[in-house]
Amino acid sequence: MKKIAILTLAVALGSFFITSCGGNADKKATSEKQETVKQTTPEKKVEKTFVANIENGKKVYNKVCVACHMTGVAGAPALKDKERWTEIAQKDMKTLHEDAINGFTGKHGVMPPKGTCTDCSEQDLYDAVAYMLKTAGVTAKE
Ligand code: HEC
């Protein structure tokens, strides 16, 4: 009788360890999967919803973006180039915001990440993009 009790206990303990190990292995697999996802998509994806502050956008534009976007240096679309901006506005606001944050290489040239403004926040960049679209006279969908 005692033997059976010990055996039952051993079996119970054994299956407990197996299930708990199994659980950990699952968790590890999941975190590895997340790691892979992170590695294949290193670019910043914007999850937050932003509301444009055009006044701030103007300040940011005049401080940084103006260097390339006023006259169209290095293949940048000049603000008065409505044709280019009409094409750009085909993309939605979220994509344009992400391109401003991460940088963007198109057929005309290279837009550096954050337009080289390392201390610009995501909000600053959103505002600047909104200001530029407005000044160019185009509207991108949200
Ligand atoms: C060093 C020059 C440079 C600076 C500074 C710069 N840009 Fe650009 N930007 C570019 C170039 C070049 C392109 C066009 C890339 C192409 O279409 O080939 C571009 C394109 C863009 C686009 C369109 C992206 C798209 O998906 O078509 C947006 C939006 C933009 N810039 C926003 C900004 C903002 C906001 C700033 C300031 C914070 C800024 N840029 C500063 C060079 C610059």
Q: What is the pTM of this model?
A: 0.77
Each residue's pLDDT tens digit, 25-59: 455 555 555 555 555 557 888 888 999 999 999 99
pLDDT of residue 39: 54
Q: How far apart are CA 104 and CA 114, in angstroms?
A: 10
Give the pocket of ligand 1 (CB within 6 Å): 60, 64-65, 67-69, 73-77, 88, 91, 96, 99-100, 104, 106-112, 115-117, 120, 125, 128-129
pLDDT of residue 130: 98
pLDDT of residue 1: 52
pLDDT of residue 105: 98
In sequence order, the 6+-apart residues with CB closer than 8 A to the CB of 48 are 122
Nearest CA owner, ligand 1 atom 27: 88
Q: How far apart are CA 111 and CA 113, in angstroms?
A: 7
Each residue's pLDDT tens digit, 74-131: 999 999 999 999 999 999 999 999 999 999 999 999 999 999 999 999 999 999 999 9
Q: How far apart are CA 38 and CA 118, in angstroms?
A: 22
Mean pLDDT along residues 19-29? 48
pLDDT over 80 at 65, yes or no: yes
Query: CATH assignment of 54-136?
Result: 1.10.760.10
